[in-house]
Every structure is written in structure tokens, then in C-alpha cells.
Amino acid sequence: MKVLDLFSGLGGFSEAFLRAGDEVVRVENNPLLQEVPCTTLQDVREMRDRLRQFKDEGQPIRKIDLLLASPPCLEFSMGFHAPQAIAARENRLDSYQPDLEMIEITLEIIQLINPRWFVIENVIGSIGYFENLGLIPNQIHGSCVFYGKFPKFSTPKMKTKAEKDSYHGDPLRMNKRALIPFELSMALRKAIISQKTLFDDYNIA
């Protein structure tokens, strides 16, 4: 299976696919994460612009079986120090407007690539804002909300996000807190593999 993982961070979303031998490309713009296996340092804006150019020039765009994306969630988080939570405490939630650029770029990349499956993950606080962009939650697991086109999957009882926090000075603190557990990645892969009759030409095993 060919898997593209956007905003890949520490790679948790695509880890089960990588371990199973699938072809995984992770896209991340944080140079501190460049040593994560299969990671390409790139801004999604640059990727979007390159794909636009390919389309305008009539160049073929590589086929992808699965696109995964975990756009930054700070704008949608209800954590105490997050912008939305601060707006709620200050009674100005009605006027709060999160930055939707990353999710809008993600949707454009999906449209340009047209993958067989795509999964966008974010936090509960994203639901109302994402619905305005035409995204309806397909599945919710704990604090994780999953949008997109994918088969339903079940997961064992597990931690949905990193339970142990790292110290405040850790430059990768947010990435560690947002790490998607391996069990969830594996459950998603199993659900997709169960649909393998749709992928016969890719000989998925």
C-alpha cells in the first residue's frame, strides 16, 4: 500500500503501515523530527503548490492508496492555555475564529491527489469548525475525531494520546502529547486490508 502521512510528527498515525512493509512517506516541517524514519522535511503549502503545478502542466500525479493527516490542533483544543479555551473564559467564543489554513490546504491536497482512502484526525473541539468545511466526523475514539473516507475500525482499550506529559521545556512536547498510539494505527490498517478486494491491482497482503 502507498501511504502519505501529512503533519506526521513522530509518525504514530502511519507506524503500523510502515512496520507491515507498506510504502510510507511522512511529511513534516519540524527539523527536529527529520530523523523519524521515512520523514521528508517539507511545508504542506509547498507540496500543494507543486501538485497544482503538476495539474496545470498536465503532469501525472502519483497514485496514493491512503492519505493520513493530523493538522495542528492547537486552534481547536479546549486545553486550558489553548486559544479557544481562553476565548471561552473571556466570553468571546462567538467571535472566535480559528486559523483553518492547514485543514483547507489538506483538503486541497486530497482533491489533487484523489487517494482511495483518506483520514483526517483532530480533537473534539474541531467538529463545529470542520463541519463548516464539509467534514463530518466518521468516527470518534476518546479525544480523537476522525474525518474522511475510510472503513470503520475498532480498537482495544488503550490510551488515545500520550498519558505521560514531558517537561515544559521539551521542544517536542506537543508532538509527544499528540502521538497517535500504535494500536489505533494498526486497527485502521486492518480495517483497510479487510477491504482488499478493492485493491486487487495493488496486491495488498
The 10s digit of each residue's pLDDT in 126-171 is 998 999 999 999 999 888 899 999 999 987 665 555 445 555 677 8
Residue 102's pLDDT is: 95
Residue 167's pLDDT is: 58
Q: Cell digits for 37?
A: 524514519
d(CA 43, CA 69): 13
Q: What is the 3-state secondary structure (H, E, C) of 61-113?
A: CCCCCEEEECCCCCCCCCCCCCHHHHHHHCCCHHHCCCCCHHHHHHHHHHHHH
The enclosing domain of 8 has a CATH number of: 3.40.50.150
Residue 200's pLDDT is: 52
Mean pLDDT, rounded, of the chain: 87
In eight-state DSSP terms, residue 132 is: T
Q: Cell digits for 9?
A: 510528527
The pTM score is: 0.87
Segments of the chain with pLDDT less than 70: 156-168, 196-205
Residue 204's pLDDT is: 43
The parent domain of residue 102 ranges over 2-202
Number of domains the chain contains:
1
Residue 68's pLDDT is: 98
Residue 45's pLDDT is: 97
